[in-house]
Copies of this chain bind each other. A is one copy, B any other.
Amino acid sequence: MEQLQVIRTNQPKHKPNEDELGFGKYFSDHMFVAEYSSEKGWHDSRIIPYGPISLDPSAMVLHYGQEVFEGMKAYRGAEGDIILFRPDMNIRRMNRSCDRLGIPQVEPEWLLQAISKLVEIDHDWIPQRVENSLYIRPFIIATEPCLGVRASQEYKLIIITSPVGAYYSSGLAPVSIYVEDQYVRAVRGGTGEAKTSINYASSIKAQEEAKRQGYSQVLWLDGVEQRYIEEVGSMNVFFKVAGEVITPELNGSILPGVTRDSVIMMLKHWGIPVTERKISVEELFEAHQQGKLEEAFGTGTAAVISPIGAMKWEEQSIEINGGNTGEISGRLYDTITGIQQGKLADPLNWRHLIGKL
């Protein structure tokens, strides 16, 4: 493994007010960059001041979208530790995404070191408030300057970090969603299970429609029958029906979320029944009619747990748990964020410490 070159900025930026962080609006002082060529493999790893990158206008990513990314967070632990949450899961998924997109994989240990070193150098950018964190965005883009439709022979791996606020500054706030029956996010045989720009660009139109109709997210149905529930917005989704927690099974078009996996593991750890299986939207609304739909929530790195308080499908609008955060949703949120922030015990060994502050 070659030596990592570090060039520190001599113009550190002013840090934003922690009240106004939002999501992905501010970026720290440094970024990690590495290059790939078919001859040299991944090479020229460096941490340099955050700033614009130079791309040929024919760089393949700008035309044929060969790109993968990841999203994870660094937390300021109570004992002064810098904490990552299950980074091995993100790195493994990134390599699976690479495989789907025809992008060369990366050495997991090398990527983890790159992330750790970058966060260490910019540790002042990890917010002070316990509910805030430093969002980490590794991504790979195809950079070969050529308009042929094929896999690029050159890539850039870049890692940037962004101090972000809690999704819910005043506690968990349930959202309203509507069942999308026109647009489709992904289909089996497509790229739904990869974390790639592709799956997000196609959802923007649906998201805008949802907002226009007063909903904050859409519930995605499968692309084949438009009947089975897949995800909510850019999150995985869970339902509690008659005491059992259910989430759509990974079928090739659903993103295998790290928070999704953590929720399943934690529920099992607690002895709460949890099942991964197909769930049709009919079944869900029927369960509601019968008074059995007790909770619904989305899971993702940004929000961790996002309770769903209301749902609309065609002409039916329903309220879930009186529009309030459910008991399990709240408990999962408190527990997972507590582990991430180093406040609670870590029974499943999820924390990865990368240094002391």
Contacts and interface: CB of A to CB of B under 8 A. Distances in A.
A300 to B, nearest CB: 10
Contact of A160 (B57, B69, B197): B57
Copies in the complex: 2
Contacts of A25: 146-148
A67 B65 contact: yes
Given A24-B146, A184-B188, A189-B223, A204 B66 contact: yes
A63 B69 contact: yes
A154 to B, nearest CB: 13
A27 interface: yes
Interface string A135-170: 101010100011111110000001010100000000
Contact of A203 (B50, B139, B145, B149): B149
B204 A101 contact: yes
Contacts of A100: 205
A189 B182 contact: yes
A321 B64 CA distance: 33
Contacts of A147: 23-25, 135, 137, 162
A72 to B, nearest CB: 13
A208 interface: yes
A174 B224 CA distance: 33
Contact of A205 (B101, B139, B233): B101
A183 B189 contact: yes
Q: Which of A202, A203, A234 has the most CB of B within 10 A?
A: A202
Interface string A219-236: 000011010000001100
A226 to B, nearest CB: 7
B58 A204 contact: no
Contacts of A31: 57
Given A149-B234, A201-B198, A207-B150, A139 B184 contact: no
A102 interface: yes
Given A101-B205, A205-B101, A139 B187 contact: no
Interface in A319-354: none
Interface string A116-137: 0000000000000000000101
Interface of A: 22-25, 27, 31, 50, 52-58, 61-67, 69, 100-102, 135, 137, 139, 141, 145-151, 158, 160, 162, 182-184, 186-191, 196-198, 200-205, 207-208, 223-224, 226, 233-234
19 contacts: A24-B58, A25-B148, A27-B58, A52-B54, A52-B57, A53-B55, A57-B158, A58-B160, A61-B62, A62-B67, A63-B67, A63-B137, A64-B201, A65-B197, A149-B233, A187-B223, A189-B226, A196-B201, A198-B198
Would you list the 8 A-B pairs with minimal beta carbon distance, nearest first? A24-B147, A65-B197, A184-B189, A65-B201, A64-B200, A102-B204, A52-B54, A187-B187
